[in-house]
Structure 1
């Protein structure tokens, strides 16, 4: 993957880790306003996940890069996002598999994992590129619990 420059999430943590990955997935947006996107179509998504914290774990990691890839790539690569009914819904607009909702979902999945670790790092940002000209950045608000 080519090196890219991502917007920086402001924080005061000692460590910041960024993991780039890509996955191929199909989706459709079940809303009249979505136009052509109402039809099933696919993308090669490029994601950058930003994790930060002050303490390393017993292996010397903030979080193991391989775990981040496993959490996201293995779940979404070569899938139809709409079929993941744990993450997405055809009835709730906030849970349609739009770029915004996919970025938020990635953040929530990563944070659930981090919440179970000894050093409890934070997922500060997910940058998700859906096409060469369109991307979304999701940054959870501090203190808000996620699904």
Structure 2
């Protein structure tokens, strides 16, 4: 993968890591408004996942890069995204496999894993490039601290 500068997520944490990965997947967007994207087609997606935190784990990692790759590449590479009916839907627009939704779902999968880590790192940004000229960024809204 070529080196690339990604838009930075602002966060208060001491450590930040970024994992670049790619996966090949097909999809279709089941909506009349999607134009040609209504039909099955494929992309080589390029993702950058930004994770931040203040505490390293017992191995000295914020999180092991290999775990992040396994979560995403292992799940999506060489698949038809629409077939994953646990994550995507052909009837709910909020779950159509658009670039925006795929970026959000990558965040959800990563954060679900991070929530189980004793050092509690946070996924602060998912950058997902679908084509050489089109990408999406998903940044979760910050939750206000309870008082």
**Alpha-carbon distance, 1:91 to partner:** 0.8
**Alpha-carbon distance, 1:128 to partner:** 0.1
Task: Find the aligned partners of 2:130 and 2:141 in 1 and give their Cα distance.
Answer: 23
Task: Find the aligned partners of 1:116 and 1:74 in 2 and give their Cα distance.
Answer: 19
- The answer for the alignment partner of 2:4 in structure 1 is 4
Deviation track 1:58-94 (CA, whole Å, cap 9, x = no partner) reads 1111000000000000000000000011110001000
**TM-score, normalised relative to structure 1:** 0.97
Write out aligned runs for 1:60-139 (5 A): 60-139=60-139
Residue segments in structure 2 that go unaligned for 5+ positions in a row: none
**Alpha-carbon distance, 1:12 to partner:** 1.2
- The answer for the alignment partner of 1:15 in structure 2 is 15
| SS of corresponding position for 1:49 | strand
Q: Which runs of at least 4 in structure 1 moved beyond 6 Å after TM superposition?
A: none
Deviation track 1:28-73 (CA, whole Å, cap 9, x = no partner) reads 0000000000000000000000000000011111000000000000
Residue segments in structure 1 that go unaligned for 5+ positions in a row: none
**TM-score, normalised relative to structure 2:** 0.97
Task: Find the aligned partners of 2:141 and 2:86 in 1 and give their Cα distance.
Answer: 22
CA RMSD of aligned residues (A): 0.8
- The answer for the alignment partner of 1:41 in structure 2 is 41
Task: Find the aligned partners of 1:106 and 1:53 in 2 and give their Cα distance.
Answer: 18
- The answer for the alignment partner of 2:143 in structure 1 is 143
**Alpha-carbon distance, 1:143 to partner:** 1.9
| SS of corresponding position for 1:20 | strand
